[in-house]
Structure 1
């Protein structure tokens, strides 16, 4: 009388039977499948961290462009960052006075630009640019000063003269005149005096002329020039 196989033996026999009839088929073992899943997880994780969190390649700087103030900086980021500008901690509104621009200059580098028109004293303060993408964020600050660091007395209106840009030298086409231009902010209207080698120029002379032109702003912003034959 044959002896019945125990359940464990039946399982072993069944496993061997399937193994013998499936050796020509491509099947991955549980170990191989587990390794494959781990590889998938590793690849997915690598895809999630691929890229660059925003970093400033060039910190913000300020310059004049015609009658506008221009703030600009360079940011390295992948993917493209979301950029926001703040003035004294408050978000700058999108309106005709404030123009925002972000453009890709090369590869992963972007130029962030803020243009401000209608220049007035109330624009002074701290400007912050915040750059953010899915991998992180970064901020940079720059101060705009129209006045000295001394605080003006609260009971005084206006402001003392402060230069908005350095003097510019222009020469006439006939080379007979030289013109010096500069722009300053002041309230009330300032008195202008030009000096050469530390000595005041004699403006009573017909060779020296000073023209003071007020610019329409909330405070008195003036452009002055001197001409010398």
Structure 2
């Protein structure tokens, strides 16, 4: 055994290939080691700081405008580690990720909600809630929907007896709320106690009391907002 140990101690070890050794006393090597250590400490410190706090909103949500039939995107920048749990809601009701609402995670710091196929009902207040094991935070913004002025159902042609009441009705939509006007034979109608019109959120009516032969003619309802105009016609005959 002793002889074997002696032979082993005398065995020569092959030197490492050229370029595979480092002189730890070399100033460049020492400087590189210091940079690596500092970088690791910085990474570890940043990681520890992220782990210790609740989520934070670094860039707030902003109100956006959604055009009818198009899509809108709400987005904010957050700080949260480990990866947070995200919930989006509209007017207090949770929204499910799916065809209408798409949850988007563009990178570890940005979260977004895409609202597709915009309609007037999408108008409202949207909130993102960000949770992790250390707490939660939230932020809100509004989607403002813009819809071109539109007459969804025009007034019907009418034949009525003299002295009766005529009511022409049109169903309307638009956001911003459109300006509404009624015309007879191309001229603005001067309202009085007998002939007048009302404008609601979704409809407008023209009332003609005690109809006279002079009230017969072609009536027009006209809508306009900053996105478009629309009009519809009806014929009134007095028997």
TM-score, reference length from structure 2: 0.41
TM-score, reference length from structure 1: 0.42
